[in-house]
Every structure is written in C-alpha cells, then in structure tokens.
A and B are shown apart, each in its own frame.
Chain A
Amino acid sequence: MKKLAFILLSLFVSISLFFSCTKINNIEINEIGTYPTPLIKPLPLRVGVYYGNDFATFETTQKVKIPNTDLTYIDHVKMGKANTVLFDTILPMVFEKVTPIRYLPKESDHMRDVDLIVEPAVHSYSIPSPTADGVYIHIVYDINFYLPAGEQICSWQIEGTGHSLTQIEFKTEVTAITELTQMAMREVAANFMTDFCKQADIKKLFYKKCSQ
C-alpha cells in the first residue's frame, strides 16, 4: 500500500512539477555492524593477513538511475576502512592466530610463524538500478591464499548481497547504501566462516585441521 500511495503522490506532483536532476552522494563506510560470537571452533591455523592498498583504500563510483524518473544518483562509495574492519573481525573468529603482514612473500622469502597467508581483494561492487524487486547491492571479494613461501594456493570468490524491498523507507541514499553494503558484508562473513574448509585446495592442504 505504501507503494501505491507513493505512486499516487508522485503522479500528482509530477503534473505540476517537472524536474530532472542528478544527485551526488559521498558515502564513507567505516563500520560493518556487530556480529554475534559465531558457532564455530577456530581452526588451529596461524594465518598472516595482507591488505593491499587497493583493498584498504577501496572506492568506487556508481551511477544509479531511478526508474520512471529523471533522477540519477552518483554515489561515490569509500569502503576501504570497512573492508579491513570486516576481515579484522572475521579472521580471528575463524583461525586461532592471525597476524597482519606488510607484504606478500616472494619465492626467496619464507614467512615463519604462519601456516597460510590470506589476501582479500575487492573483485567488484555494484549498485544496479532499483527494480520492482527492490534495491540491491552486490559485493564480490577475491580471497587469495598463499603458502608461507609465497606460492599461491588458490583464489576463492565470495559474494554478498544487500537487499531492500523498497526505496520508500524514509532513509537517505547514504544511509540506505551503508546499510545494504553492511548487509552484503555480513553475507560474505558468514560464507567465509562456513565454507573455508570446503574449498578443495584448502581442504586438501589442511585436511586434518579442518576435520578437528
């Protein structure tokens, strides 16, 4: 019914007022919300985590056309801080020991005190134009795994989606984008926690530890 009321209102307003505009939003996402203590036992693995500059300072510009209007949002989304907070939060929940590392080892190096190196990267971030199903935000991360000597084991792509049924929730674009991004990040977090050991190469390498 809210939608009907909105359409009626829009119709009346549009008769007397015709406007065409582009609105620019600067959105900085620094938090991910709070996650409960997960029902998982941390794996007995020592993990080094490396955040590349692109990941830690990630920003993107999304052009979102609102259907049936002349309104277009240009959303500048900065979410580097939220990216690092996300993995700083979930990795210690999944692994017994997590150490930040400043660089990825080359072949000649061999990082001691770690069993595995994790390097998350943003594969894509998109805000498609709203549809009848509502508003979506998609985030895809590439999680690259390396051995302590620098050899890449595999790359795992994890997706998360933030979905709101309607735009008419009396929220600003900035609030809506922030909440939907956080919702998508929570999906990524959950997926990482439940499926890490299901990755074929990881399972092969850490079979015993994953089975504990």
Chain B
Amino acid sequence: MKFKLLCIIFIVSVMFGCTKSQIKDSLNANSLANQYTTVTIFPINPTDKEFAECVQEKLKHDLQYLKFLQGDKFREAMFPWFEPNTAPKNIEELSALLTKPLVKKRIESLGVELLIYVSGYTKEEYSPFISIVGIGVTGERETRILVTIWDLNEIVRVGDTDISFEGTVGGGSGIIPPFFYIWPAFTESEACGETAERISNCLKNKSSNTDK
C-alpha cells in the first residue's frame, strides 16, 4: 500500500515537475570563431554571478580549446568601466570605451577577445495549502537568462539569446501517515544548459556573418 502511494506521489511529481521553455536566439555564427582563445563570461550585476558561472562551466566542457577569464577578475582589472552602472550597454558605448588607451591596453594584456554578458533571474511564486491529509506549498518557477556576445577584436555584437524555462514546483507533508514530498523544477540548470549550447553552437560554426 505504502509502495503504491509512493509511486503515485512519484508520478505526480514527475508530471508537475515538467518545464516549458521559450527561446529567442539571434546569435550570428562568427567566421572568426575558432580563432578566439580567451573569453570572459561576464555578469553585469554581481547578482548574476551564478548564471555566469553555470554557463561558463558548461562552455568549458564543450569548447575545451578556449581559456576563460573569470568575470570577477575581468571586472576588477577593468575598474571602473565594467561596474553595473558603468558597463557599456551597446556597441556604440563599447566602441567609445575601447578608444581609451588605458582600457584598450588592459584588454589586450588580458587577452580577452570575446566578452559574453550574462544576466538573468529566477522568479518563484508560492501559495500554501492545508488539507485534511497534510500541508504544503505549490507554485510556479521561472528562470530567464539573457546573453549578449561582443567580439572585442572586431568590435561587433555577435548576437543575443533570451532563454526562459518555467515549471511547477511544490512540496509538503502528510500527517497521517507522516511523509514528506517535493516536486522540483530545475529551471536554472535547464536555462543555463540551453544558453551554453546555443553559444557553443554559434562559436563552433565557422561560416557566417556578424552584425556591425
């Protein structure tokens, strides 16, 4: 009986734990892709660090020929030009910044050729419930990761991705018999994995253009 109950809970968990995704990808595969040697995955806001680290870990696995400079190290090395409120937001601002000799020299000394801005968020909304068999919470979880890729050699925007995953999550406890259950939605890891895959595919592809 207990085994059947656990099975039912497991099946319900799997059903509700599914996620749906929304993907916008305007990455233009870059003809110079395989010539890049050093990349920085850069969280514009320090709060986006986890997303950047996750994307970096997956890219490291896919693109083993690339060297990665930690976003934090890049921010420190470029102070004060890549703080949340001073980092260039578009190609014009980036281009203007790279005309400053000190900035250009530092980027050259760091060897960073590709700058990947990462930002994102995870939204969670929960509501509690109480029933005769137990108590718990249920809700929605959404993770969205936005990426913009800049080629610092050519000073071009390679493109953007905007990827979000949504899922239903919850958990709680039964009173009689006592048991705990949880159905998770791993929206962060799915959004991160999809983002990394898109970037990886773009960088692997040698034949196409960039937008200036």
Contact = CB atoms under 8 A, between A and B. Distances in A.
Contact of B102 (A12, A41, A190): A41
Interface in A6-31: 7-8, 11-12, 15
10 contacts: A4-B137, A12-B135, A35-B79, A36-B79, A39-B78, A41-B102, A187-B83, A190-B79, A190-B83, A194-B81
B95 interface: no
Interface string A46-72: 000000000000000000000000000
B192 to A, nearest CB: 14
Contact of B103 (A39, A164, A186): A39
Contacts of B106: 39
Chain B interface size, under 10 / 10 to 19 / 20 to 34 / 35 or more: 20 to 34
B83 A186 contact: yes
B21 interface: no
Contacts of A11: 128, 135-137
Interface of B: 45-47, 76-81, 83-86, 100, 102-103, 106, 121, 123-126, 128, 135-137, 139, 169, 171-173, 182, 184
Nearest to B137: A7
Given A40-B102, A132-B123, A163-B47, A187 B136 contact: no
A40 B137 contact: no
9 cross-chain pairs, A with B, having the tightest CB-CB distances, nearest first: A190-B80, A190-B83, A36-B79, A39-B102, A193-B80, A190-B86, A194-B86, A36-B76, A165-B47
Contacts of B121: 133, 165
A36 B136 contact: no
Contacts of A186: 83
Given A8-B172, A164-B47, A39 B79 contact: yes
Interface in A92-139: 132-134
B85 to A, nearest CB: 5
A189 interface: yes
A191 B173 contact: no
